[in-house]
A and B are shown apart, each in its own frame.
Chain A
Amino acid sequence: GAGVSQSPSNKVTEKGKDVELRCDPISGHTALYWYRQSLGQGLEFLIYFQGNSAPDKSGLPSDRFSAERTGGSVSTLTIQRTQQEDSAVYLCASSFLTGAAFFGQGTRLTVV
């Protein structure tokens, strides 16, 4: 597709379960970002991938959060042992080496 694609669009999980969120960036984009946005709040940076460089993981809130990017394309954000405070919209964005980031539609995660 032409845009950033995220799946699932909605996810409801039980507290303590693991979840995986997927992001398929725009073809050719070398940079990929994950953000989290709670209701009424700004974007919370989680992790940044750029080409083959080591990812910038400085925004990951705890060791329950991890992300990988396979083959410089698709990325998966994994949250282990989910907690209620993990409930938020998780946004993925991609860009070229320079230039603007383009966002996917997000995954709304609800931990019950």
Chain B
Amino acid sequence: QKEVEQNSGPLSVPEGAIASLNCTYSDRGSQSFFWYRQYSGKSPELIMFIYSNGDKEDGRFTAQLNKASQYVSLLIRDSQPSDSATYLCAGRPNAGKSTFGDGTTLTVKP
């Protein structure tokens, strides 16, 4: 079992819809969780982080964390074609290394 698993995708949503990206993790010692966006041919860039159970909102993005279920998600509201990318989930224990999932590719169709 991988330490961080993501929806295999690809995921396709129409413009303006909500895109939901999901991630589960196996290491209960993970304390911090991160979502990265990677455009084709580019490096991953950090878009959200979450440390506490519940929701965290930043503009059109909402990260959700449920430590009891070992589940992290990213919601993108009012999806735009520019959101089309691969989204990577990562978990990190305190003072340990981040572990990344394989990513979910999102396509937003105009």
Smallest CB separation, A31 vs chain B (Å): 7
Cα separation A97 to B92 with both chains bound (whole Å)? 10
The total of chain B residues at the interface (CB under 8 A) is: 21
Instruction: Tell me if A65 is interfacial: C-beta within 8 Å of chain B.
Output: no
Are B43 and A48 in contact, with the CB atoms below 8 A? no
Whether A56 lies near B49 (C-beta < 8 A) is no
Q: Are B103 and A42 in contact (CB under 8 A)?
A: yes
| CB < 8 Å neighbour of B98 from A33, A41, A91, A106 | A33
CA distance A103 to B36 in the complex (A): 10
Q: Do residues B98 and A42 form an inter-chain contact, with CB atoms below 8 A?
A: no
Q: How far is the CA of A104 from the CA of B34 in the complex (A)?
A: 17
When the two chains form their complex, are residues B97 and A31 in contact, meaning their CB atoms are under 8 A apart? Answer: yes
Question: Does the CB pair B43–A98 fall under 8 Å?
Answer: no
Query: Could you list which residues of chain A lie within 8 angstroms of chain B, going by C-beta atoms?
Result: 31, 33, 35, 41-43, 45, 48, 50, 56, 91, 95, 97-106
